[in-house]
Amino acid sequence: MRAVVIVSGGAANSPFTTPTRACGGGQPAGSTDSGLRGALLAAGFAVYTSPARAGRGLADEDLDFQGYTEPPEVLPEELTVNSVGTIDVAGQHLAAFLAHLARTDGMTAVDLVAHSMGGLFCRAAIRVLRDAGHPLQVTSLITLGTPWTGSYAADIAAGDLLRSTVSADPSTNAIIDDFLLLVSSTPDGAATEVTTRHLCGPDGWNARQAGVLDGIPVTIIAGDHFHLAGGDTRAWPHDGLVTRASAMAEGLPPEVVQPRAVHLFPDVHSIYFAEPFGLPWEHALTWDPNVFAVVTAAILDAL
């Protein structure tokens, strides 16, 4: 059985859902995955969402913005991604979840649709499965707003990029304020590992993933809603958290990724960024019908 698995990103709280079962309260698959899940189900795919929690524990509810309650099933912690933890540990948990679906639901092939850091988690999981010799076939990887080469916000939080690079824009300043609060309240490793310093360079995390995506069609989707004329390209343009260049995997060597296609939309990172700036949800990568169409086509092209 071939299925689609949606993987949430950093600081996400997302439930486990199946093609036939969703949450009883709130968004059917949480704030990140519900729009994508609905569109891909309508396109005829068997869609699962992988459980994630901002911290160690169970994905049992999210009472924050557009969250969820009453998930159809709460899976054990070892099958749940700690979305504020380290990339490699997240990959281990995601790999265990995918192996669980292979064992319990007969999934033999999977298309991974990943938002934000979920793209990094997926790459780590693919490596774990391959190293273990698991027979599950990854038929495609589609990333939405993934910080392939880091997040400018994380670089600012780490002191690697001056805040003055964004100080001229009130909206981005507000985003950085919120991000710094998040980093201080969730010191589990994600913010440090999504820096350019950690991901890039000859000894960076990306270099250690050489060959992991060989033979897997990769489609990259980026957003660039926020612009600043003459702005430092290390921070501009961006979708709220990730620059256009990072989301498009610019500068990475072919042994790390050779995308089949790259798509750009004038979107924000997620509905979490659309709401405070008065934007329709459809202007977020996770809720844009135009993005859904690209994701659908990419999965069909990988058949």
C-alpha 34/C-alpha 68 separation (Å) is 10
CA angle 264, 30, 146 (to 5 degrees): 30
Residues 73-100, buried b or exposed e (16+ Cβ, 10 A)? Answer: eebeeebbbbbbbbbbbbbbbbbbbbbb
Return the closest-CA partner of residue 125 out of 245, 5, 292: 5
The answer for residues whose C-beta is within 8 angstroms of residue 1's C-beta and 6 or more apart is 46, 105, 106, 107, 108, 109
Parts of the chain with a pLDDT under 50: none
pLDDT of residue 256: 98
**What's 283's DSSP letter?**
G
A 10 A CB-CB count for 25 gives 12
Identify the H or E element spanning 35: helix 30-42
- Supply the pLDDT for residue 201: 86
pTM above 0.85, yes or no: yes
- Position 168, amino acid: A
Find where tokens 């979708």 sit. Answer: 239
- Residue 149's pLDDT is what? 99
DSSP letters, 99-124, are HHHHHHH---EEEEEEETTHHHHHHH
What are the structural domains of the chain?
A: 2-301 (3.40.50.1820)
d(CA 287, CA 66): 13
Q: 228-240, pLDDT tens digit by residue?
A: 999 999 999 999 9
* Contact (CB, 8 A) for 114 and 143: yes
What's residue 131's pLDDT?
98
Q: In Å, how far are 44, 162, 256 from 119, measured between CA atoms?
A: 23, 26, 13
Angle at 99 between CA 292 and CA 51, to 5 degrees: 50
